[in-house]
Structure 1
Amino acid sequence: MSSVYNSKEKVHKRALEAIGKTLGEIDVKRTLNINNKSYPGNVIEQIWFDHPADNNADPDFPEAGVELKVTPIDIQTKKINKKKITKIIAGERLVLNKINYQNEFGKSFEQSSFWHKNKLIELIQYYRRDVADKKKISSGEMIEDKTKFRVSYANLLTMTELKEFDLPKDTVIKIPEKDLEIIKQDWNKISELINSSKAHQISEGITNYLGACTKSTTSAVFTKQKNTTVPAKPRAYSFKAKFINELINNHIIGKDHTDAIVSIVKDVSELKSKTLEEIILSRFKPYYGMNQNELIQKLGIRIGKSQPQKNINNMIIRGILNLPTTTDEVTSEEIEKADISLKTVALRNGQPKEHFKFMGIPSFINLVNESWEESSVNDFLERKKFLLLVFNDLNKKKKDGKSYEANREKIIFKGATFWNMPISDLDGTVRNIWETEVNKMKNGVELTFSKNDKDEIKVKNNFIKPSLEAILHLRPDAKVAQYKSQYYKNVVDNGIPKKKLMNNARKLPSPAKWINRPENEKENFTDDYMTKQAWWLSKDYIYEQIKGML
């Protein structure tokens, strides 16, 4: 059946006419299920464009060669340098077409389903919510009315040259050549695993701008791949949320949301022979083996007398990458778009100093209501790419035997490496530990009360202890332990009596099982609260990832 939207101009003109309308104004008769997760997209596709839902390999409007995508944008307010900055962000990754491992086998980029279906996208974005309201909505405190979501932008997102296009050019986003080269590199990484019958090893963390996100909320669903009996998770091509963020702020709103953001890759031709990762690592290699003082001098960095150690390392990293020194955050165009997390790994005489914290737990109750497939931990570790920067501290202990010297000439930059968690670790050990610890929370965590010789109170829990094998573990996320709800403590600050809010505990989903707790301590060590926790990766596991550069 031929569509009335048989040219890119007709598709785009219709999309532009939707701007300013709410989904409720389009779905006037309430013909679609508002509780369906896909309600916004269904309203635009099925009602506004009168296009039936389908799973065709062709673009939604094949005669026009245009794929239709509908995606949310949110408002986020952050404090940056003590100022409140409000910006528009992508509400989620932009999910594209499902990957058929058997059909994609042996295809070139130009032959791929990704290119065929997505080289020209009508991107319609609707305003959804303020990010601050998300917790209230997920907890049921606030009910979200999807009919009030309002269409804010409509743009043609193109990876090819548009010729003879008669509509406003300011509503066309041409993906820059540099970005397209990185997208091709990402596609190649996914393709290489498909072609070597290793699609089960694909994760979002292996790529930069173009991802391969999971398409099933249950681990029971798998799909076949060629030349192997090993099944793989169903996945779809997707543009990462931070990549879409940059499109929104630079091309749609026309304002860069990051002050003085710069690029690491200055010349697109460099991407013709090297991957983005190889280019970034090449910037660090000339500095391998240098100590902090040598790096500071070489890079012309000004260090204050009381500059914290962590800040010095950040300043060195920014100096190496030739990034602005006006912020503590290490960021660039490529790091932003790829959502790469830079993490300094501090060694003490070649051995890891500390465990690797990656996520706090705002609510134990929300945690136990998550399934593994939709959990924050699984989502984060599946999609996250880290740039690990290793410094080896050779300083010896001071005479007091408690603290270490801080001679910068003995702190050596050993190198940099990219790392993302292998799917085998994530779906194996990490999942098993996560499920074990969450079940302990559900059934009542075991807490053991004790006092030492100095009459100091110690509370131990029955969570798994960190080791090389136990990759994931729970550890406290507060300096001061607390086992009751928030309260005000009387303190003296500069000789002035004050009340300090103690909010270091979180409510437990089930009463704790106390061992050896005295009756007179029940008020301070309650059944219903425990010190807030965070998820950590063990330092021994992280050491395994970087020991090759030592």
Structure 2
Amino acid sequence: MNDIYDTKEKVHERALEAVGKTLGEIDVNDSKNVNNKSYPGNVIEQVWYNHPADNLAEPDFAEAGVELKVTPIDKQTKSRNEKKVTRLIAGERLVLNKINYRNEYQKSFEESSFWHKNKLIELIQYYRRDTKDKKKISDKELIEDKKKFKIAFATLLSMVKLDDFALPKDTVIEISDKDFEIIRQDWKKISSMIDASKAEELSEGMTNYLGACTKSATGSEYTTQVGSDIKPKPRAYSFKTKFINELINNQIIGDNHEKSINSIVKDTHELKNKSLEDIIISRFTPFYPTTKKKWSQEDLMNTLSIQTNETSQKNLNNMIIRKILDLPASKDEVTSEEIEKADFKLKTVTLRNGLPKEHFKFQGIPSFVELVTENWEESNVADFLDKTKFLLLVFNDLNNKKAGQSTYETNPKKIFFVGAKFWNMPVSDIYGPCRLVWEEDVSKLKHGIELTYTKSSTGKVKVLNNFIKPSIENILHIRPDASVAQYNKPYYKIVEKNGKKKKMLMNNSRKLPHPAKWIHRPEYEKNTYSDDYMAKQAWWLSKDYIFEQIQDLVN
């Protein structure tokens, strides 16, 4: 019976015994339904620990004060500095307990269900898959056998000091003081919305390490709160995926690379009086424009001792941002311990003479066929916008067009830093105008997108579509995600480079789920502009909407 696990040592010792075993080896009698989404957790909790399924406010092992969590880890390979880097990543965010808005109302941190239930977590992680196989599995090209999932790690994750712990501590993670302060700040932000009777405005992107993720069976359920008749979406406390990733790769596996990923916050005491966001923004404020001084890129390069031959504005901006945040030089994107764990998305917003220069791309569309199988509540777009926090770095480009050309000069003396701002999309915009555009445009793809063939007086062909056009009201839109438009299936073309001929894959199109409805397409163009393929597209936010979000910096 589970009452034998009445101490944290007994819970953890049992967890360590599971390492190396497959779920099929643990559930030898096939007592659990392998097709159930909760199969791994059910096998560990109900078979390995002989613990009944419950949904109580107490930790799973109440006498020991330990909550049990069973989660997947995957293998991911990415290119970094022209090398292939493989590491293990969390397969999903670590979902904790459901937030009862009524019970959490006006509770202190120490009284909260989050603290009561999760201050000590037995985290059991099983190896699931290589991320490159995900699409094949979803397309049924590969059949995934859950019984072969193997327990890789068992770690006691603690937010309290374990001075009395009677087992070796090499499988224990005590959350650092700095991380704990950020988690506490996140909880206070969630709590303040509940206490203000504004739980409907909660989103995962509001916070850094501890989130309030959506939590319901259908994604369209609603619950109640104190002091308001507005029904908010059900949510649960969760540790964000990237936060767990850093724990896995820094402390669980033991491949500690904390020295190579530097920190913005060097002194934990700074977090006692300021939020993480305020600390990061404070690094930029000395370079904000004043009546006496406006900081150009050249001024920043000179002041920060940046030497570069780079012509790319993005690379130059990244170098400036790294220097301001006191981070080491790197060819990769700007990152730090805090940026990695909170998964901030750094985005440079460039104005042209004080007005928006371009729309704001945030997510590619890898497959139209898969897109039309989603529903809005569980869509990739809704999930991304709900959980993502952007760090917007704003520059104003006063360069003129090159003489006789349509392109602009890139003189760093004429590009000025405006300011920095953390921003996440309000829930009312996500589940209001974004939802309306998403549902309408996905419906067009599902039933046949309308494409209009046009040709200019110079003979240049342009294809128009009937996706919703961007505006202040229509903040979300679909637009091309390739420099060269392609409306036929991917093919190889022979090109000559450095005197040598080579095959190049022309892969700027994606298959449509329903034949397109063409207007004015000549018969002889049917092969080049086919019914079944469309140029690669992405999801964008309108530049006018983004401009609204940074008005406080511009004015």
Question: How many aligned residue pairs are there?
Answer: 549
Aligned position for 1:300: 305
Secondary structure in 2 matching 1:51: coil
Alignment of 1:204-243 (within 5 A): 204-243=204-243
Secondary structure, counterpart of 1:389 in structure 2? strand
Counterparts in 2 of 1:152-301, with a 5 A limit?
Answer: 152-256=152-256, 260-289=260-289, 290-301=295-306
Cα pair distance change 1:130/1:258, threshold 3 Å? farther
Offset at 1:121? 0.6
Kept in 2: contact 1:87–1:257 (CA 8 A): no
Deviation of 1:492 (Å): 3.0
Separation (CA, whole Å) in 2 of partners of 1:536 and 1:259: 36
3-state secondary structure, aligned to 1:237: strand
Contact 1:217 1:374 in 2 (8 A): no
What is the CA-CA distance between 1:458 and the residue it aligns to? 1.4
Shift of 1:50: 0.3
SS in 1 for 2:371: helix
Quote the Cα distance in structure 2 between the aligned partners of 1:114 and 1:385: 22
**2:19 and 2:160 mapped to 1: Cα distance?**
25
Q: Which residue of 2 aligns with 1:375?
A: 379
How many Å apart are 1:288 and its aligned residue?
1.5
Q: Does the 8 Å CA contact 2:211/2:238 hold for their aligned counterparts? A: yes
Q: What does residue range 410-429 of structure 1 map to in structure 2 within 5 Å?
A: 410-429=414-433
Match of 2:352 in 1: 348
Q: Contact 2:219/2:378 (CA < 8 Å) preserved in 1?
A: no
Residue 513, structure 1, aligned to residue 517, structure 2: yes
Per the TM alignment, residue 495 of structure 1 is displaced from its structure 2 partner at its CA by 4.1
* CA distance in 2: counterparts of 1:47 and 1:86, whole angstroms: 33
For residue 13 of structure 1, what is the aligned residue in structure 2? 13
TM-score by length of 2: 0.97
Percentage of matched positions with identical amino acids? 66
Counterparts in 2 of 1:314-393, with a 5 A limit? 314-393=318-397
Residues 1:432 and 2:426 aligned together: no
Secondary structure of the 2:244 match is helix
Secondary structure of 1:447 counterpart: strand
Q: Which amino acid aligns with 2:58?
A: D
Could you tell which deviates more after superposition, 136-145 or 484-493?
A: 484-493
RMSD: 1.2
Match status 1:86 vs 2:86: yes
Q: Which residue of 2 aligns with 1:48?
A: 48
Kindly provide the amino acid, as one letter, of the partner of residue 315 in structure 1.
M
Specify every segment of 5 or more residues in structure 1 that has no aligned partner in the other structure, as ranges: none
**Map of 1:64-103 to 2, 5 A cutoff?**
64-103=64-103
Most deviating of 219-228 and 264-273: 219-228
Deviation string, structure 1 residues 95-133 (Cα, Å, up to 9, x no partner): 000100000001000000000000011111111111111
| Unaligned segments of structure 2, at least 5 residues | 290-294
CA distance in 2 between partners of 1:282 and 1:55 (Å): 43
Query: Which residue of 2 is the match for residue 400 of structure 1?
Result: 404
Q: Tell me the TM-score normalised to structure 1 length.
A: 0.98
| CA displacement at 1:169 relative to structure 2 | 1.0
Checking the alignment, whether the CA contact within 8 Å between 2:80 and 2:332 is kept in structure 1 is no
Cα pair 2:246 2:341 within 8 Å, conserved:
yes
Bigger drift between 242-251 and 199-208 goes to 242-251
Q: Deviations over 1:81-103 (max 9, x none)?
A: 11111101111110000100000
Q: Is the 8 A contact 1:349 1:394 kept in 2?
A: yes
- Measured after TM superposition, the shift of residue 464 of structure 1 is 0.8
Change over 3 Å in CA distance of 1:219–1:390 after alignment to 2: same
**What is the one-letter code of the residue matched to 2:81?**
N
Q: Give secondary structure in 2 for the equivalent of 1:40.
A: helix
Conserved 8 A contact 1:224-1:232: yes
Which residue, out of 444, 459, 470, partners 2:474? Answer: 470
Secondary structure of the corresponding residue to residue 136 of structure 2: helix
1:500-545, Cα deviation, whole Å (9 max, x unpaired): 2211111100000011111111111111111111111111111110
How far did 1:4 drift? Answer: 1.1
Structure 1 Cα separation of the partners of residues 78 and 258 of structure 2 = 12
Q: Residue 498 and residue 157 in structure 1: after superposition, are their counterparts in 2 closer, same or farther (change >3 A)? A: closer
Say if 2:545 is the partner of 1:549.
no
Runs of 4+ in 1 over 4 A off after TM superposition: none
Matched-pair contact (CA < 8 Å) for 2:2–2:51: no
Q: CA deviation at 1:454?
A: 0.8
Query: How far apart, in 1, do the equivalents of 2:179 and 2:188 lie?
Result: 14
**Residue in structure 2 matched with residue 24 of structure 1 by the alignment:** 24
Query: Taking structure 1 as reference, are residues 320 and 455 closer, same or farther at Cα in structure 2, changes over 3 Å only?
Result: same
Deviation for aligned residue 1:246: 1.0
Q: 3-state SS of the aligned residue for 2:550?
A: helix
Q: Secondary structure at the match of 1:373?
A: helix
CA shift for structure 1 position 146: 0.5
Give the alignment partner of residue 485 of structure 1, picking from 489, 497, 500: 489
Matches of 1:18 and 1:420, distance apart in 2: 40
CA distance in 2, matches of 1:219, 1:213: 11
Give the letter for the 1:399 counterpart. A
Q: Which residue does the alignment assign to 1:311? A: 315
What residue in structure 1 maps to residue 292 of structure 2?
none
Give the residue type in structure 2 aligned to 1:206. M
User: Contact 1:484–1:524 at 8 Å: present in 2 too?
Assistant: yes
